[in-house]
Structure 1
Amino acid sequence: MKTATANGTVSVREAVFGLLRAFGMTTVFGNPGSTELPLFMDFPDDFRYVLGLQECVVVGMADGYAQATHNAAFVNLHSAAGVGHAMGNIFTAHRNQTPLVITAGQQARSILPFEPFLGSTQAPELPRPYVKWSVEPARAEDVPLAIARAYYIAMTPPRGPVLVSIPSDDWGVQTLPVDAREVSRHLRADPDLLARVAAALDGARAPAFVVGAAVDRDGAWNEVVQLAERHNGRVYVAPMSGRCSFPEDHPLWAGFLPPMRERIVERLVGHDVVFAVGAPAFTYHVEGHGPHLPEGTQLVQLTDDPQVAARAPTGTSVVSSIRLGLLDLLTLSAPPRRVMPPRRARPPRVADPAPGERLPVAWVLQTLNDLRARDSIVVEEAPSARPVMHDHLPIFESQTFYTMCSGGLGYGLPAAVGVAMGRPGAKVIGLIGDGSAMYAIQALWSAAQMALPVAIVILKNRRYAALHEFARIFGYRPGEQVPGTELPDLDFVALAAAQGMRGLRVERAEQLRPALSQALQATRPVLVEVEVA
């Protein structure tokens, strides 16, 4: 890197690299194009560039890495086309509340009035509304300040992605360096409102906790366990939560709420107070009718997202850092002694399949659970298998489960790679459906190039199975064909080999345990394709 000039200025490039270094963001995720090349001149030796072969892979890897490292990840995309390719996973990062600082290359300022080839028209508007902030600085000299502001915004709860569009000729312009600053990232709850929440919980006859992804994101796992134990309150997982926020073998664990209004009400009958902590109240997937809670049930909520608080249909909502809010509640709460509610029965073990029988998903996941370490990390994107996973692949520890909060496919495979990068030494298991895998299959190449010890388990049912489940909800007759949902002739072992990764195929019951064992013990990436019923 060059030193400052006599008047104290440095190039925009040097100023940005200095900021990124101060922010601990020395890993760059990207798929470069012509407008990004000036950024990488004199690329610093203490930085690393992680190449993804498609922009959705780039953002998915960065999302997993940011969640695993608890810091914003730096992403470099190419103009409008690159941002367009990445939009599915930018949407997911927005819903995951993952902090990403995304830069997008732009054509040189001097030719922007002429609508140049590969120019991004109204570049800041393209990613909205799925970024917290988006800007193309008015002057080249303002780029470092924009990067700094983007980082602080991305890291302030509710966290999320931001975008800075940077013309290609800005990087060499001289500017003053920008110092990294300490900016508070946490809000403390209104004490009067929080006291009302504490009073509601203390006065409840049978409280229920509904935990969401923000509990684990904010490092509040231990605090929510402690508060639930103090109240002997049953703990449900919020619908469509992208993280595990409570140990699924705990005596108070009550299972998963479905994303359907009527069924949520059915599950919460008998609870007079529901405490939604780090979760919306509630996330729905299909149309519903009637009340949001059982008659006579009171809702209280602790959230780090003002929008989540604003759209709650009823009750008292407190906006705060989840962990700080729970710590305050632990000082305020003094409930009466309550009887421990009945423990939720675990589903029975699945019998081994008969010779020649297609492998049941439940049996495959049960076998995986038998073989994996308790603290191994599961990154999942197998929508049709998720209800089965809830029963047969329980999660026990904080920061050991990740999926998308958006419902958008193409996240899980690259996110598994990013989590493995961010948690060196941990065993990461990517549990991916065959349809999901094809949205971002290029992530296998990145995993192979970095020799990451990630086990990719492909549940191959040869169709978009989740759509067959939804077909019944939308009025399809039993057995009626759903167009465009069959996936014949995909060979994931060949796809893995073509990208430098070892692949194993499992078609019979006796092949499963040896194949999974090899993948879980390997120090390099291994893909296991499992034919399932």
Structure 2
Amino acid sequence: MGHRPAAAVLDILRDEGVDKVFGNPGTTELPFLAALADAHNTPEYILGIHEGSVVAMADGYARATHRPAFVSLHIAAGLANGLIGLLNARRSRTPLVVTAGQQDRRHLQQDPMLSGDLIGLATPAVKAAYDIQHARDLPLALRRAFALAVRPPAGPVFLSVPMDLLDEDTEVEVPARTPPPPQGPAAGIERAAVLLGAATRPAIVAGDGVGREDALGALVRTAEACGATVHHQPMSDCLNFPTTHPLYAGMLPPRHDAIREALTAYDTVLIVGAHAFTPHHYTPGPALPPGLTVVQLDSDPDEIGRNFPATAGLVGALAPSLHRLADLLGDQVPAHTARSRTLRTGQRHTAERDRAESAARAAYSPAPLAPWAAAHAVARGLPPDAVVVEEAITMGLLLRRLVRLDAPGSYTHTVGGGLGWGIGAAVGRALAEPGRPVVAVLGDGCTLFGLQGLWSAARQSAPVLFVVMNNGVYRTLQDTYAARGGEGVCPGTDLGPLDFTQAARFFGVDAVRAESADQLRELVAGAGELTGPLLIDVPIRS
């Protein structure tokens, strides 16, 4: 049975499990909005007042629901505003299906207002971009977009849909949904087990694929089976290993020289679901030390051997592959050996954590707060089962060393680098998991980039605690400038005094200024009792 084009879109959205449309509409989206208004059982429209916030909300929602989120943008300008979010989603491998309305084809050659090269704009920021020119092609392309968005490596897929195409008085066929075929365990796990089993100093690098594929428990089993020390990949986007575990050794720094130094202590490393270590600042030389035996496991075949040679490369779904590897390691490594390694490693890591804990607690004071004290207050105040959405750059590095998290999905970041993601992502996360406390830890610069997301937080009554670390400077730039030998103050990095309580109240969000580290901890502890958004402005010593 055929459908009108706009009705076909809604039919596919419902079939794909889409219950929310994240958007900021314009005239070219009116046929789609009319279909939403006329149909029954349609997705809820989540309005944002800037496309950056719209895409960030969809990003947070998709990560929590583990299915593609649907985004509706407006024409070339709206797409351009949303590109920062699409770049983040592509780097963080968040599955999104994104549409933008193109101008009416009947006068497109006359260069009408608002028109533009949507495909040219979108292509660098997405996995694929489709220019729909015939109504009959729209349902098939939309089905293809949902399938492609989740196929490893996951990411955003874009469709340009002319306004008049959705209005056509014609019927189109809607193809049935084909469920994505599940990936099974990787081939070659037996050899990997032999290599790891023979190691005397094994290590694991837990990449973001672990968190995305819900393989955290499987990785814990693997690490415990051989007593391997576990590092998070540099600037990890997810919680890929419990930070409370005795084998956890923290995050690798995002520089090849620092990674090489950290991994020199081991003879064999298992690298799981990590995208080529994503270095930030350049340093000469490879990331891996010479002589290291490397076992690499990923669901994306393009990652194997991409930036470093692997002794054994395995492609398959992470959770079943790791469970199988853990079973085989049980036969390769004596239980007393694995327990002994875990005990020794745990004693060393506990001592390191205790030192960091003591130093941070000793820094408690009235505002303005020392960075270590502020990070500690947030980490110790987090309610059980809280989700941390972190976009705090330098403060985030401190927070990562202090949080004690073990629940899957409890830490979210974007390695994409497009500032302004955190507020919208936290709102999207709260919409996806309404019973789970969401604490967004934000730098002041990041907050300024994404401030419009507070409007959506207020409109949705999203119970998010926004914690703004307010030091009045672009600290990471100043620190890097000094490290490169710069003298004096780096120009263009001073934000000056900022009162985020005023900004929050303008958008209808309650706000309070933290007067001490103890008060900050108490406010964070109350995140689970929120019925709407609350912003805490935290003065930080610069």
Give me the TM-score of the superposition, normalised by structure 2: 0.92
Q: Which amino acid aligns with 1:335?
A: Q
Look up the equivalent residue of 2:27 and give its one-letter code: S
Partner of 2:480: 470
Match of 2:110 among 96, 109, 114: 114
In the alignment, the residues of structure 1 paired with residue 197 and residue 171 of structure 2 have an alpha-carbon distance, to the nearest angstrom, of: 58
Q: 1:468 to 1:77 in 2, by over 3 A?
A: same
Look up the equivalent residue of 1:93 and give its one-letter code.
Answer: A
Paired with 2:246 and 2:138, the residues of 1 have a C-alpha distance of 53
- How much does 1:336 deviate? 1.9
Cα 1:163–1:356 shift into 2, 3 Å: closer
Q: CA 1:126 to 1:497, structure 2 compared with 1: closer, same or farther past 3 Å?
A: same
1:311 corresponds to which of 294, 303, 306? 306
| Residue among 126, 130, 140 paired with 2:121 | 126
- Partner of 1:143 in structure 2? 138
Of 171, 177, 186, 1:175 maps to: 171
Amino acid at match of 2:277: F
Q: Distance in 2 between matches of 1:169 and 1:327?
A: 52
Change in 2 beyond 3 A, CA 1:398/1:514: closer
CA distance in structure 2 between the aligned counterparts of 1:365 and 1:354, rounded to whole angstroms: 10
Structure 2 match to 1:100 = 96
Q: How does 1:130-529 map to 2 (within 5 A)?
A: 130-173=125-168, 174-188=170-184, 190-192=186-188, 194-315=189-310, 316-333=312-329, 334-337=331-334, 338=337, 339-340=340-341, 341-343=344-346, 344=349, 345-346=352-353, 347-349=356-358, 350-353=360-363, 358-477=368-487, 480-509=488-517, 511-529=519-537
- After alignment, is 427-436 or 498-507 more displaced? 498-507
CA separation in 1, counterparts of 2:58 and 2:181? 21
Determine helix, strand or coil for the equivalent of 2:22.
Answer: strand
Listed one character per residue, the Cα deviations across residues 509-532 of structure 1 (whole Å, up to 9, x for unaligned) are 464345444555321110000101
2:422/2:442 contact within 8 Å kept: yes
Closer, same or farther: CA 354–65 of 1 in aligned 2, 3 Å: closer
Matched, 1:24 2:17: yes
In structure 2, do the counterparts of structure 1 residues 170 and 455 end up closer, same or farther at CA, with 3 Å as the change threshold? Answer: same
CA deviations over 1:32-81 (Å, ceiling 9, x no partner): 11111111114234321001111010000000000001110000001111
Q: CA deviation at 1:399?
A: 0.7
Letter in 1 for 2:320: L
More helix by share: 2
Please, what is the CA RMSD of the aligned residues? 1.8
CA distance in 2, matches of 1:227, 1:57: 38
Counterpart contact for 1:93–1:161, Cα < 8 Å: yes
Aligned to 1:36: 29
Aligned counterparts of 1:185 and 1:99: Cα–Cα separation in 2: 16
- Counterpart-to-counterpart distance in 2, 1:261 and 1:398: 28
Taking a change above 3 Å as real, the CA distance of residues 58 and 356 of structure 1, as seen in their structure-2 partners, is closer
* Superposition deviation, residue 212 in structure 1: 1.1
* Aligned 8 A contact 1:156 1:185 in 2: no
Contact 2:221 2:323 in 1 (8 A): no
Q: Which runs of 5+ in 2 are unaligned?
A: none
Q: What is the CA–CA distance in structure 2 between the aligned matches of 1:354 and 1:241, rounded to whole Å?
A: 28
> Hey, what's the Cα distance between the residues in 1 that align with 2:236 and 2:452?
26
Q: 1:342 to 1:508 in 2, by over 3 A?
A: closer
Distance 2:519 2:286 in 1: 49
What SS class does the counterpart of residue 146 from structure 2 fall into?
helix
**Secondary structure of the residue that 1:159 maps to in structure 2?**
coil
Q: TM-score, normalised by structure 1?
A: 0.94
Counterpart secondary structure, 1:287: coil
Partner of 1:5: none
- Report Cα offsets for 1:300-338 as digits up to 9, x if no partner: 111122332242311132222222322332344332222
Aligned partner of 1:85: which letter? N
Indicate the percent of aligned positions where both proteins have the same amino acid. Answer: 36
Distance 1:188 1:518, change over 3 A: closer
Q: How many residues align?
A: 522
Matching of residue 63 in structure 1 with residue 75 in structure 2: no
Q: Is the 1:157–1:186 contact (alpha carbons within 8 Å) kept by the matching residues of 2?
A: no
Over residues 157-205 of structure 1, what are the superposed CA-to-partner deviations in whole Å (9 max), with x where a residue is unaligned? 211100000000111322333144233344335523x332222111111
CA pair 335-473 structure 1, distance change in 2 beyond 3 A: farther
Contact 1:157 1:185 in 2 (8 A): no
C-alpha separation in 2, matches of 1:139 and 1:104:
15
1:475 Cα shift?
2.4
Matches of 1:63 and 1:199, distance apart in 2: 39
Q: Distance in 2 between matches of 1:373 and 1:456?
A: 14
Q: 84-93 or 132-141: which moved more? A: 132-141
Q: Distance in 1 between matches of 2:366 and 2:223?
A: 46
For residue 378 of structure 2, give the secondary structure of its aligned residue in structure 1.
Answer: helix
Contact residue 516 and residue 528 of structure 1 kept, 8 A = no
Cα 1:248–1:514 change in 2 (3 A) is closer
- The verdict on how the C-alpha distance between 1:359 and 1:324 changes in structure 2, with shifts beyond 3 A counting, is same
Return closer, same or farther for 1:361/1:200 CA change in 2, 3 Å cut-off: same
Residues 514 and 237 of structure 1, relative CA distance in 2, 3 Å threshold:
closer
Asked if the contact 1:374–1:396 (Cα under 8 Å) also holds between the matched residues in 2, the reply is: no
- Unaligned stretches of 5+ residues in structure 1: 1-7
How far 1:26 sits from its partner (Å)? Answer: 2.3
Write the distance in 2 (CA, Å) between the matches of 1:117 and 1:493.
39
- SS of the equivalent of 2:123 reads coil
Q: Partner of 1:19: helix, strand, or coil?
A: helix
Q: Give the superposition deviation at 1:470.
A: 1.1
Seen in structure 2, the aligned counterparts of structure 1 residues 154 and 267 have a Cα distance that, compared at 3 Å, is same
Give yes or no for contact 2:230–2:247 (8 Å, CA) kept in 1.
yes
Name the SS for the 1:75 alignment partner. strand
Letter in 1 for 2:318: I
Ranges of 4+ aligned residues in structure 1 off by more than 6 Å: none
What amino acid sits opposite 2:202 in the alignment?
P
Aligned-partner SS, 1:104: strand
Q: How many Å separate the matches in 1 of 2:205 and 2:500?
A: 38
Contact 2:243 2:403 in 1 (8 A): no
Greater mean deviation of Cα atoms: 183-192 or 245-254: 183-192
